[in-house]
Amino acid sequence: MNKYIFDVDGTLTPSRQTINDDFAVFFSDFCAERDCYLVTGSDREKTIEQVGEEIYSLCKRVYNCSGSDAYEGSKNVYSDPWTLPKDTRQWLEQTLDDSQFGLRTGLHIEERSGMVNFSVVGRNATMGERQLYVRWDKEQLERIRIAERFNKKFPDLKATVGGDTGIDIAPQGNDKSQILRDFGHRDTLWFFGDAMDPSGNDYSLAECKEVTWAIPVSGWQETYQKLKEIRKND
């Protein structure tokens, strides 16, 4: 059976923004006709803010916090909490102090169910402030360098680049690949994501042999076009 799994930021919506109105109508119909799932590093509240209640409820299951928190509509199916160790927090705080990017907006270390999101510019940044960091990071590759240093320092944990400004941190194995426990060997899995390179938070799922089709996209517009092709060929 075909089952369609979607990342959210950069795949269905611009990072931390709401879904395009026309795409939302199309995607709602797509989900109503097929078994669709979301997997995102964001929590339930933020995901609903981005895709809306209707799409969230139409999906067979939504995996928040990279799969550590799972919902079917409003029902929490399971949750796997985790607390950031003190020494790891101190390392992140020092890394924040050491960054040459000068702007700080607050909420730089956000604890979620089963994971932590680290952001130099901060989760409270406006869209304009986020774009300043995006341009900086594209030139400096700061997030990739931080993640590489982190992974050497803390081998029992895993840091991956997520979204436009953040780094997702979780225990080894608490990544998007953990959702595969809910699928069977007879399922044909289609996974759409924008961060399938080795440093990205879609990579752990995209590289799994259980995923039949791992489809990289560069934005929601490309996802929209690919889903139109799938629907046309059904």
33-84: per-residue pLDDT in tens?
999 999 999 999 999 999 999 999 999 999 999 999 999 999 999 998 899 9
pLDDT, the chain, mean? 95
Integer angstrom CA distances of residue 176 from 11, 99, 168, 171, 219: 15, 28, 11, 12, 19
Strand, helix or coil for residue 97: helix
Question: 129 vs 43, 102, 106, 126, CA distance in Å?
Answer: 22, 11, 12, 5
pLDDT bucket at 163, cuts 50 / 70 / 90: confident
pTM of the model: 0.86
pLDDT of residue 15: 86
pLDDT at 16: 84
Coil, helix or strand at residue 26:
helix
Q: What is the pLDDT of residue 39?
A: 98
Domains of the chain, start order: 2-80+175-233 (3.40.50.1000), 86-171 (3.30.1240.20)
Can you give the pLDDT at residue 24? 98
Cβ(29)–Cβ(6) under 8 Å?
no
Query: Which pLDDT score is estimated for 220?
Result: 97
Query: pLDDT band at residue 173, thresholds of 50, 70 and 90?
Result: confident
Q: Where is 146: in which H helix or E strand? A: helix 142-153
For residue 231, the model assigns a pLDDT of: 94
Residue 127's Cβ-count burial label (10 Å; 0-12, 13-18, 19+) is exposed
pLDDT in tens, 87-142: 999 999 999 999 999 999 999 999 988 899 999 999 999 999 999 999 999 999 99
Amino acid at 136: W
- What is the model's pLDDT at position 81? 87
